[in-house]
C-alpha cells in the first residue's frame, strides 16, 4: 500500500472511530426508576437514620438529593402520577388504593411513561409492584407499554407466600408464577438478570418497584439479627426490611457496573408516600401490633395524610457526569418525572393528555432553583391541599370543616396554623382547590366501594377500611 493510500485508510478509520464515539456519547440513557413502598422520610442513612442503607446513601452522595420531592399520600395515586405525568384527580385515581376485589384501574386512554419511552426505541420492564389495575388484561403492565413484567400486580403481599389475603399475587408477563423466596430478594435478583441480558446498543427503562418496607413486617432472620441493638421489635424488623432492599439496590448497581452501563444510566429513587404513622393505613390484617416503626421526622403524620409526613418523600437522582452532587433547591412533584425523563430520552410526549408535570432537568442536574411554585398534594371530595410558594393550605371539608395554613419554609413540621391571621391567602388557596375540584373526575375507588356496599346482602362485611377511611375526616 502506498504512503498516500495508507494515510487515506488511517484517516477513514479515524473518522469512523470518531463517529462511533459520537454515537456513544449521544446514545439515549438507560433509566432505572426505583420505588420503595411506605419508606419513612427519616429512615435512610443520609437522613441520619440508624438503619443502614449504604447503596442508597452512595447514590445520594453522588447525585441530586431532592429534599422537597412530593408524592401523593398513598400508593396507587403516586404510581399513577408517575406513569401519566398528570394528577390522579384528572382520571379518578385520587383516593385510596385499588383493593383486590375492585375492577378499575388507570384508564386505558392515558398514555403512560413506558409507552412514551418505547416510541423513542426503549425496551421497557416493570419488576416489582404495579397496583394500577389487575382485573383484566387491558389494565395489566404488558398492555400499558411494558415489554416485560415480573412480580405482584397488587402488592400488599406476604413476603414469602406472595399472597394477598390468601390469594397468590405473583406473575410473569401477566401469568401466575409459583416461586419460592423472599419477595425483596426475588425482585432484586430479577432486576440483575434483566440488566445482565441488556445490549449496550439499545436503551432500556427498568421500573424497579419494591414492595418493601410495606407491611406485613417480615425480614430474613439474619437481617433482623444485625439490628439486635434496636429494642422495639417492629422497628427492628422494619430496619431489616429496609436494609434487605438496600442490598438488592447495591446488586443492581454492581450489575450496571459489570455491564459497563453505569455511566449511561439515570437512576431515580423515591418512596411512594411517607411511612405509616396511622394504623388505618398499615394494611388490612397485615399491620403490626404495637408501635408503628416508620419515621418521617421532622415532618407531621404519614401515609394517607396531606401533611408533609405523608407526601414529602425520600428521593434522589444520580447519573455520573451529568447530575451534579448536591441538594435541589425547591419543590419537585412526582408528575414532573415523565416530562423530565422523556426529554433526556429524546422521546416525544405527543399523545399524552395535558401534562401537569414540568421538565425539572436543570434543577435536578445542576441544582438550579425549581421552576415549580405550586404543589398539589391532592384534591378529593372531602379534602384538599395545595402549596403556593411557601404557603400551604390543608382544607378538610366534612363538617365541622377544618382549615389550616402553614408557612412551610419556616414551619416544615406544620405546628402553627396561620389561617386566622392570613384570610387573603386562605381565600386564594381555597379558590385554587375549588378550581381543581371542579376539574376532577369522580373517585373510582368510592364509586366502586359504594356500588359494592349498596349491592351487598344484609350482614355482609363492609369492604376493608372503607367507612373508617371516610370517617376519620369527620
Q: Residue ranges per domain, the chain? A: 27-372, 376-442
**CATH ID of 27-372, from 3.30.70.1710, 1.10.275.10, 3.40.720.10, 3.90.660.10:** 3.40.720.10
Residues β-bridged to residue 364: none
**Does an H or E element contain 172, and which?**
strand 171-172
Q: Considering just the CA atoms, what is the radius of gyration of the chain in Å?
A: 23
Q: How many CA atoms lie within 13 A of 394 on its CB side?
A: 18
Domain 376-442 in CATH 3.40.50.2020:
no
Report residue 254 as a C-alpha cell. 454492581
For residues 54 and 34, give the distance between their C-alpha atoms in angstroms, rounded to a whole number: 15
Contact predicate 364/64, CB 8 Å: yes
Known catalytic residues are 75, 131
Q: How far is CA 440 from CA 110, 137, 388, 392, in A?
A: 15, 26, 19, 20
pLDDT at 283: 76
From the first residue on, what is the mean pLDDT of each consecutive set of 10 residues in the chain (474 residues)?
43 38 63 98 98 98 98 98 98 96 97 98 98 97 98 94 95 97 98 96 98 97 98 98 98 98 98 95 80 97 98 98 96 98 98 98 97 98 97 95 97 98 98 98 93 54 42 46
pLDDT at 56: 98
For residues 69 and 314, give the distance between their C-alpha atoms in angstroms, rounded to a whole number: 7
pLDDT at 155: 81
pLDDT at 12: 42
pLDDT at 13: 37
Report residue 24 as a C-alpha cell. 456513544
pLDDT at 1: 44
For residues 3 and 450, give the distance between their C-alpha atoms in angstroms, rounded to a whole number: 86
For residues 419 and 406, give the distance between their C-alpha atoms in angstroms, rounded to a whole number: 8
Q: 270 CB contacts (<8 Å, ≥6 apart)?
A: 34, 35, 36, 66, 69, 71, 313, 314, 315, 316, 334
Is this model's pTM higher than 0.85 or not? yes
- The conformation of residue 211, written as its DSSP 8-state character, comes to -
For residues 300 and 308, give the distance between their C-alpha atoms in angstroms, rounded to a whole number: 6
For residues 45 and 68, give the distance between their C-alpha atoms in angstroms, rounded to a whole number: 17
Phi, psi of 26 (to 5 degrees): -95, -5
Amino acid at each position: 500500500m502506498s504512503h498516500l493510500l495508507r494515510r487515506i485508510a488511517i484517516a477513514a478509520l479515524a473518522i469512523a472511530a470518531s463517529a462511533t464515539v459520537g454515537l456513544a456519547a449521544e446514545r439515549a440513557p438507560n433509566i432505572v426508576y426505583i420505588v420503595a413502598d411506605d419508606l419513612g422520610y427519616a429512615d435512610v442513612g443520609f437522613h441520619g437514620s440508624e438503619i443502614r442503607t449504604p447503596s442508597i446513601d452512595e447514590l445520594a452522595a453522588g447525585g441530586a438529593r431532592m429534599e422537597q420531592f412530593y408524592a401523593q399520600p398513598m400508593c396507587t395515586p403516586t404510581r399513577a402520577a408517575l406513569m401519566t405525568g398528570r394528577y390522579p384527580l384528572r382520571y379518578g385515581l385520587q383516593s385510596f388504593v385499588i383493593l383486590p376485589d375492585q375492577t378499575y384501574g388507570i384508564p386505558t386512554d392515558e398514555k403512560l411513561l413506558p409507552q412514551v419511552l418505547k416510541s423513542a426505541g426503549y425496551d421497557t420492564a416493570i419488576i416489582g409492584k404495579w397496583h394500577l389495575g389487575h382485573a383484566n388484561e387491558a389494565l395489566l403492565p404488558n398492555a400499558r407499554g411494558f415489554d416485560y413484567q415480573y412480580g405482584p400486580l397488587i402488592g400488599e403481599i406476604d413476603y414469602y407466600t406472595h399472597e394477598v389475603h390468601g390469594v397468590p399475587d405473583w406473575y410473569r408477563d401477566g401469568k401466575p408464577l409459583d416461586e419460592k423466596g423472599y419477595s425483596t430478594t426475588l425482585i432484586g435478583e430479577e432486576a440483575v438478570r434483566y440488566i445482565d441480558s441488556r445490549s449496550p446498543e439499545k436503551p432500556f427503562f427498568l421500573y424497579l418497584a419494591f414492595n418493601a418496607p410495606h407491611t406485613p413486617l417480615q425480614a430474613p432472620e439474619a437481617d433482623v439479627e444485625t439490628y439486635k441493638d434496636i429494642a422495639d421489635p417492629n422497628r427492628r424488623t422494619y430496619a431489616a426490611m429496609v436494609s434487605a432492599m438496600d442490598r438488592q439496590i447495591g446488586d443492581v448497581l454492581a450489575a450496571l457496573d459489570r455491564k459497563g452501563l453505569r455511566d449511561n444510566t439515570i437512576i431515580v429513587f423515591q418512596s411512594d408516600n411517607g411511612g405509616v404513622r396511622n394504623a388505618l393505613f398499615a394494611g388490612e390484617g397485615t399491620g403490626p401490633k404495637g408501635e408503628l416503626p416508620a419515621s418521617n421526622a421532622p415532618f407531621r403524620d404519614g401515609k394517607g395524610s396531606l401533611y408533609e409526613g405523608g407526601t414529602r418523600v425520600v428521593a434522589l437522582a444520580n447519573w455520573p457526569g451529568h447530575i451534579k452532587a448536591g441538594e435541589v433547591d425547591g419543590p419537585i412533584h412526582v408528575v414532573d418525572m415523565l416530562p423530565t425523563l422523556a426529554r433526556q430520552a429524546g422521546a416525544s410526549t405527543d399523545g399524552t393528555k395535558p401534562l401537569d408535570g414540568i421538565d425539572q432537568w436543570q434543577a435536578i442536574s445542576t441544582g438550579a432553583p425549581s421552576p415549580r411554585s405550586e404543589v398539589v398534594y391532592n384534591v378529593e371530595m372531602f379534602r384538599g391541599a395545595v402549596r403556593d410558594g411557601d404557603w400551604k393550605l390543608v382544607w378538610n371539608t366534612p363538617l365541622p370543616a377544618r382549615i389550616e395554613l402553614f408557612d412551610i419554609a419556616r414551619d416544615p413540621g406544620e405546628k402553627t396554623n396561620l389561617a386566622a391571621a392570613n384570610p387573603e391567602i386562605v381565600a386564594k388557596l381555597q379558590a385554587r382547590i375549588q378550581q381543581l375540584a371542579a376539574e376532577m373526575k369522580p373517585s373510582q375507588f368510592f364509586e366502586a366501594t359504594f356500588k359494592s356496599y349498596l349491592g351487598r346482602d344484609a350482614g355482609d362485611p363492609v369492604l376493608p377500611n372503607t367507612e373508617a377511611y371516610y370517617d376519620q375526616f369527620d
